[in-house]
Amino acid sequence: MAEITQLLAQARGGEPERLAEVFAVLYPELRRLARSRLAAAEATLTPTVLVHEAFLRLTGNGSVTLNDRQHFFACAARAMRSIVVDAARRRHALKRGGMHADLTLTDRLMPHVAADDEVLALDAALELLREHNPRQMEVVELRYFAGFGFAQIAELHGSSERTAKREWERARAFLYAQLEPGMALAPP
């Protein structure tokens, strides 16, 4: 963990090639997270593509300053969310409508990629949550889009696992209130 923070500090200090080293060190973990998020149902995005796209978004314009491991994974989760949402928007635009599917947020990782409508509805609700409580929105990004467990989220936030679970439950309640009546959130 100290190695990641040191590499990120060097990247901020004028050695941008160190950011590539951070990705190299964390690449297996990022691929595992991407694989758990995408599973086999996604045709256009693979875990490799998702991780590489996230890398390009984080390093592309050179304006992102990553402070530590927590900040790195928060930004990576946000980039993955953005990539998945953009892909859903492109497919949704091609369909010109489509069937509306129920959204299910569970305490376990999603076994499949949510339907495009689900991803887009969740994205809109997350933007509202960001305005209400940015930390809870980050918990949802880390859990839903990056596939983190409560222990990992707690470690990244420097909080207890119980606090991470409580933030998840509050975020789920908020999102449930924002989603259309036909969309269901799975019980805890």
What global pTM score does this model have? 0.68
**Dist. CA 120–CA 122, nearest whole Å:** 5
Q: What is the pLDDT of residues 13-37, one digit of tens each?
A: 888 788 888 888 888 888 887 776 6
Q: Which two tokens stand for residue 15?
A: 């050695």
Q: What is the mean pLDDT of the chain?
A: 78
Q: What is the pLDDT of residues 144-182, one digit of tens each?
A: 877 788 998 998 889 999 999 999 999 999 988 888 665
The predicted pLDDT at position 177 comes to 87
